[in-house]
Amino acid sequence: MTKINEQKVNSDFAMNFGPAHPGSGNFAIKVEMRGERVLKATADPGYLHRGFEKLMEYREPMQNSVLSDRVCVLEPLQWNLVHAEAVDYLMGYEIPERAKYIRVILAELSRIQSHFIWYAVLSLGTGFMTGFNISIGYRDYILDVLNLITGGRVYPAGYICPGGIRKDFPEKAENKILELLPKIDYMRKFMLKENPAWLSRFKEIGVLTKEEAIKFGATGPVLRGSGVAADVRRDDPYEIYDELEFDIPVMDEGDALARFNVGVQEIEESMKIITQAIERLPKGEVRTPTLKPIVKFQNAKGEIYIRNELSRGEGAFYMVATGQKTPYRVKIRGPSFTHMIPIVEHLLTGVDYADVPAIYWSLYQCPADVDR
Amino acid sequence: MKLGIIKEVFKNVFTKPMTLLFPFERLEIPERNRGEHSFDIDTCISCGACARICPNLALEMIEAPPEMKEKYPKTYPQIDIGKCCFCGLCEDTCPKGSIKLTTNVFLATFDKDDTVRSPMSWNK
């Protein structure tokens, strides 16, 4: 990064990157330019604010479970899981063993399809259309299985609900998931080896050092791409993650390629988790209190801050119960907020404009989760 | 490397494409799919549980029209598909299994009023 003269010259101009652009949309970055060089970048969020935190104060937990899908379009099952865990804690539910395994299998499938989307938007943003098409195509195989299990392709509508899950696996669902794994593996290898010229574009750009990553509050693949081995599944295990064997991929470079490679390696780890969980899947009940979708939230009192490792980083729910039918207060912590505002502003300062899309999409953003 | 490309080309010539020719071929929709609702008025006990759990207030309990009032004296759910988020909570909460979500996903209409299904005209 070169030093930039603060004094303005006549050729300086400002332009907007977004809010309508391929890949994500709903998020703008105002860039001040001098020729081809970015002088200053200012994030401009807020195009997708839906007010989930307030909405949840007016709805019962089962209804909130349906709402929690929509926090992030690309990883709805994982957001379901965080919400369900918060309510489970406040209600004191004991989750049946089978439900815990199914929750983990679905969360990992969701992580894989989310990583495929990451590859797709990274390709789309930097002009590699083959990558986009093939990645979206392979993601569809996963969506078919999710449709079979949850009844919806993208939105599971609160399939992972307080007390367990809403319905047991249908017949042969385990086989369908195992049949998926070779396809996922093919796509993973494609991501690693296809188009070395395109991959070389991400080398040594958008370098986030270890200290900066910690200072700005990065989590997930962005933090692990900067050389910090932190993962909630390992540090603060939930569900059955402490019984499973898997590695935490870490890379020291901190550039865009390192972040992306961490994501690709995570797909392999998720496949390991799914295989182990399906092998050990016990039989039994899938929901604690009753099969009817009613949670007596009047019995709950207290507060809880619960965090999970989503595909983008650390996602958390803070929930307060005061003996009413609905939660008194809900606060959602999305992983993309720190990546999209302080980190993107920091990384874009002083780079060439041609590198802006590559850096922006390498941060694994989700505008829906920034605005909530 | 070059041989690898030729191998890939031959493989792709003889494999099926990933896409389907939609109106002629269709993707099989699983039984659990949350599509259009079906409602059986004869098994409904008018408990109103579906209307209470609906997160989007798409269900409303209404009375039967005068000519059918003798046969159906209570209130029955009317749904506005335009408000529905297809979560399936009404199906899960129904004690008699009167409401079910089906595999029909073709719900586009030309008229806005067609999105409202009254309990008498709902498909079974």
User: What pLDDT, on a 0 to 100 scale, did the predictor assign at position A318?
Assistant: 93
Query: How far apart (Å, rounded) are the C-alpha atoms in residues B116 and B107?
Result: 11
Question: Which of B18, B33, B85 is the closest to A66 by Cβ?
Answer: B85
Which range marks the domain in which residue A55 is found?
12-35+38-371
Helix (H, G, I), strand (E, B) or coil at A331: strand
Question: Chain B contact for A145, CB < 8 A?
Answer: no
The 10 Å Cβ neighbour count of residue A165 is: 26
Note whether B18 contacts A157, CB cutoff 8 Å: no
User: What pLDDT, on a 0 to 100 scale, did the predictor assign at position A145?
Assistant: 92
For tokens 């595909």, the residue is: A311
Beta strands in chain B (DSSP E): 37-39, 59-63, 75-80, 99-101, 116-117
**Dihedral pair phi/psi, residue A345, rounded to 5°:** -65, -40
- Residue A105 contacts residue A274 (beta carbons within 8 Å): yes
- Enter the CATH code of domain B27-117: 3.30.70.3270
User: What pLDDT, on a 0 to 100 scale, did the predictor assign at position A130?
Assistant: 87
Query: How far apart (Å, rounded) are the C-alpha atoms in residues A253 and A222?
Result: 11
- Residue A88 contacts residue A319 (beta carbons within 8 Å): no
Please report, in angstroms and rounded to a whole number, the separation of the first and last CA atoms in chain B. 59
User: What pLDDT, on a 0 to 100 scale, did the predictor assign at position B116?
Assistant: 85
**Cα–Cα–Cα angle for A159, A92, A320, rounded to 5 degrees:** 85
Strand partners for A85: none
Cα distances from B57 to residues A68, B72, B85, in angstroms, run 17, 23, 10
Which amino acid makes up residue A236? D
Note whether A137 contacts B18, CB cutoff 8 Å: yes
Q: Enumerate the residues of chain A whose CB falls inside 8 A of the CB of residue B88.
A: 151, 157, 166
Encoded tokens for A176: 């369908």
Domain ranges of chain B: 27-117
Strand partners for A33: A13, A38
- Report yes or no for ipTM above 0.90: no
Question: Chain A contact for B31, CB < 8 A?
Answer: yes
A127: left (phi over 0), alpha (psi -120 to 50) or beta: left
Question: Chain A contact for B102, CB < 8 A?
Answer: no
Question: Which of A62, A150, A167 is the closest to B89 by Cβ?
Answer: A62
Helix (H, G, I), strand (E, B) or coil at A141: helix
Question: Which of A152, A167, A293 is the closest to B53 by Cβ?
Answer: A293
Query: What total number of domains does chain A contain?
Result: 1
What CATH number is given to the structural domain containing A107? 1.10.645.10
Question: Chain A contact for B82, CB < 8 A?
Answer: no
Note whether B93 contacts A294, CB cutoff 8 Å: yes
Smallest CA-to-CA distance from A95 within A161, A174, A171 is with A161
Question: Chain A contact for B97, CB < 8 A?
Answer: no
Residue A50 lies in a domain: yes
Type and span of the H or E element at B111? none
Q: Which residue of A has its CA nearest to B30?
A: A148
Query: How far apart (Å, rounded) are the C-alpha atoms in residues A19 and A27?
Result: 5
Question: Chain B contact for A67, CB < 8 A?
Answer: yes
Cα-based torsion angle of the residue sequence A265, A268, A272, A275 in order, rounded to the nearest 10 degrees: 160
Q: Enumerate the residues of chain B whose CB falls inside 8 A of the CB of residue A66.
A: 55, 85, 87, 89
- Residue A313 contacts residue A92 (beta carbons within 8 Å): no
Query: How far apart (Å, rounded) are the C-alpha atoms in residues A166 and A158?
Result: 8
- In the DSSP assignment, the letter for residue B75 is E
Cα distances from B97 to residues A300, B62, B92, B101, in angstroms, run 30, 19, 8, 10
Low-confidence ranges of chain B (pLDDT < 50): none
List all residues of chain A from 264 to 293 with a beta carbon under 8 Å from chain B.
291-293
DSSP-based helix, strand, coil % in chain B, nearest 5: 25, 15, 60
- Residue A18 contacts residue A29 (beta carbons within 8 Å): yes
Going residue by residue through chain A, which has 372 residues, state the pLDDT in tens, using 9 for 90 and above.
Answer: 555 556 677 778 888 887 887 666 788 888 888 888 888 889 888 888 888 999 999 888 888 989 888 888 888 999 999 999 998 888 888 888 889 999 999 999 999 999 999 899 888 888 888 889 999 999 999 999 999 998 888 888 888 988 888 888 888 888 989 999 999 998 988 888 888 888 888 888 888 899 989 999 899 899 998 989 888 888 888 888 888 888 899 998 888 899 889 999 999 999 999 999 999 888 887 777 665 667 777 788 889 999 999 888 899 999 998 888 889 999 999 888 888 888 988 988 888 888 888 888 888 888 888 888
Going by C-beta distance under 8 Å and a sequence separation of 6 or more, which residues neighbour residue A92? Answer: A300
Query: How far apart (Å, rounded) are the C-alpha atoms in residues B42 and A3?
Result: 77
Query: How far apart (Å, rounded) are the C-alpha atoms in residues B79 and B96?
Result: 18
- Residue B28 contacts residue B83 (beta carbons within 8 Å): no
> Can you spell out the DSSP letters for A42-62?
EEE--TT---HHHHHTTS-HH
